[in-house]
A and B are shown apart, each in its own frame.
Chain A
Amino acid sequence: MALSTLIDSSVLVAAANTRETHHLEAAHAISSLAGERAIIPITILTETLGFVRTRYGLDHHRRLWARLQATSFEIFPADTSLLEEARRIDERYADIGYGFADCTLLASCEVLRTARVLSFDRRLAAYRPSFASVLEVMP
Chain B
Amino acid sequence: MVDIHVRRCDAGPAMNMKKTMMYLPTEMHAYLADEAERRGVSMAEIAREAIAEYRARTEQVPKHDYTAIIGIIDDWGPPSNDSERIDELLDEYYAVGGGWDREHGFVDSD
Chain A interface mostly: helix
Q: What bracket does the count of chain A residues touching chain B fall in?
A: 35 or more
- A10 and B84 form a contact (CB under 8 A): yes
Most buried by A among B65, B66, B86: B66
B64 touches A20 (CB 8 A): no
0/1 interface trace, chain A 58-98, chain B, CB 8 Å (1 if under): 00100110011011110000000000000000000000000
Q: Are the CB atoms of A30 and B81 closer together than 8 Å?
A: no
Given the known interface contacts A13-B82, A19-B77, A19-B80, the answer about A70 and B70 at a Cβ–Cβ threshold of 8 Å is no
**How distant is A113 from chain B, measured CB to nearest CB, in Å?**
21
CB of B25 closer than 8 Å to a CB of A: no
Cβ contact within 8 Å between A20 and B70: no
Inter-subunit contact B71/A27 (CB<8 Å): yes
B54 interface contact, C-beta 8 A = no
Which residues of A are found within 8 Å of B64, using beta-carbon distances? 34-35, 71-72
A47 near B: Cβ within 8 Å?
yes
Contact indicator B69/A67 (Cβ below 8 Å)? yes
- A60 touching B99, Cβ below 8 Å: no
Within the complex, which residue of B68, B77, B79, B83 is in contact with A120, where a contact is CB–CB below 8 Å? B83
Tally of chain B residues near chain A (CB < 8 A): 31
What's the Cα separation between A68 and B70 when bound, in Å?
A: 10
Contacts of B10 in A (CB 8 A): none
Interface flags for A37-54 (1: CB within 8 Å of B; 0: not) read 010000000010011101
Q: Given A18-B74, A70-B61 in contact, is the A30-B82 Cβ separation under 8 Å? A: no
Whether a CB of chain B sits under 8 angstroms from the CB of A126 is no
Q: Do B69 and A17 have beta carbons less than 8 Å apart? A: no
Let me know if A26 and B83 touch, CB within 8 A.
yes
Q: Are A21 and B79 in contact (CB under 8 A)?
A: yes
A-B residue pairs, 10 tightest by C-beta: A14-B83, A17-B73, A13-B83, A70-B61, A10-B83, A72-B63, A16-B73, A27-B70, A67-B69, A54-B93
Could you give 29 example pairs across A and B, Cβ below 8 Å? A11-B83, A13-B82, A13-B86, A15-B69, A16-B70, A16-B72, A17-B80, A19-B75, A19-B79, A19-B80, A20-B79, A20-B81, A30-B70, A31-B66, A34-B64, A34-B65, A47-B86, A54-B90, A56-B73, A60-B72, A60-B75, A67-B61, A67-B69, A68-B69, A70-B61, A70-B68, A72-B66, A73-B66, A99-B87
